Chains A and B, each alone.
Chain A
Amino acid sequence: MRGRLASEWLTVRVQFVLAAFFVLAGIAKIADPPGFAHEIHNYGLVPGSLVNAMALILPWLEVITGVGLFLGIARRSAARILGILLIVFIIALGINLARKKPVDCGCFGTAKVQKTDAERLKDMKLVILRDVGLLLLAGQILYATKREERI
């Protein structure tokens, strides 16, 4: 079981899936920085003066790290960065879910369709589940590439 979990065959495919997700998500946000800034502001967790910097840098970090992961460049570091981002997203969504404050994920840019508060709260739970799944993928990469750190 451990052998299969750490197999190169599986790891490469996991890299592709995780990379594709973050590259697509990042590109959608790069296309509309003010929209993403608005989404970050709605979370109510980031000081106003930092919202724009975060909206500008975060999507590029997703894309560049995703591309690095896809090409197998510094894949442990890339997986670590994406893992940290996922943990931050899960915590941010969790805090707003606990506040019962509906926010749009902002994961793939600004939502075009207006949803009710109940729909958005439900979406937030699904997004958290999805991000936990992605976090497991990042975990698999880190587990399978443990030996790369020792070299």
Chain B
Amino acid sequence: MDAFLFLAVAVLAALFSNAFAGTERRLKWIGSYERAAAASPGAGPGVAKPTPGPEAVVTPSLGAPAGAKAFPPHPDKASADISGEDVMELHARKTVPFLDARRTSVYRDGHIAGARPFSVWESDVDEKVKAYFAEGTDQSAPIVVYCSGGTCEDSHMLAEKLYLVGFDNVLIYKDGYPDWIQRGLPVTKGSEP
């Protein structure tokens, strides 16, 4: 009986503290952290978009210099991994969005210049993804998502959320922020991109 009392008080305290927590500390009670296996062709919201065949002409991304590598959409899966070299090229185009999946506090300490904060562990991530969709960004244009590299799965979870609202060209910077730092590339500190 005492044990249930301890548990009941703990649940009430958790409810209370979460209700009054700020955005960076609040959690939704039901999490959504499943990593789905690669979707079958045609899965995902909206009209299924066919993957371009080898003979198809792939329109280069806006801002891409002539002869630049193309990053075609991949509607059959949530994301594709890309290397540091590819990330550097995409960043140089200045038209490719970069999304940081790490915690906001970590983002403030330093992030890829121009990247926007989209922490998957904070309660407002689904609202941010919906708002990003509502901005009207081309859903087939490349988006780069990153986190801390190594075994960090945050970028994959963010890619999954973006895929579920219709973005089918999410590219994951697999070595993440530590690799960016190691390459001596531009970073920004603070809350702004």
Contacts and interface: CB of A to CB of B under 8 A. Distances in A.
A61 B30 contact: no
Contacts of B34: 47-49
Interface residues of A, number: 32
Nearest to A32: B25
B57 interface: no
Residue among A35, A60, A102 with max Cβ neighbours from chain B (10 Å): A60
Contacts of A63: 10, 13
A151 B92 CA distance: 76
A37 interface: yes
Given A33-B27, A68-B6, A56 B14 contact: yes
B134 interface: no
Contacts of B185: none
B31 A49 contact: yes
Nearest to B12: A60
A80 B14 CA distance: 21
A103 B34 CA distance: 18
Contact of B6 (A30, A31, A49, A65): A65
B103 interface: yes
B119 interface: yes
Question: What band does the interface of chain B fall in when counting residues whose beta carbon is under 8 Å from A?
Answer: 20 to 34
B3 interface: yes
Please report whether the interface of chain A is mostly helix, strand, loop or mixed according to DSSP. helix
Residue among B18, B33, B103, B151 with max Cβ neighbours from chain A (10 Å): B33
A52 B31 contact: yes
Interface in A37-78: 37-38, 41, 47-53, 55-57, 60-61, 63-65, 68, 74, 76-78
A30 B123 CA distance: 15
B27 A60 contact: no
B18 A37 contact: no
Interface of B: 1-3, 5-7, 9-11, 13-14, 17-18, 21, 24-34, 103, 119, 121-123, 151, 153-154
Given A48-B32, A80-B3, A81-B7, 15 more contacts: A30-B17, A33-B21, A34-B103, A37-B31, A41-B31, A41-B153, A53-B30, A56-B18, A60-B9, A60-B17, A64-B13, A74-B2, A76-B2, A78-B2, A78-B6
11 contacts: A31-B25, A38-B154, A49-B32, A49-B34, A51-B31, A52-B27, A60-B13, A63-B13, A74-B5, A77-B3, A81-B6
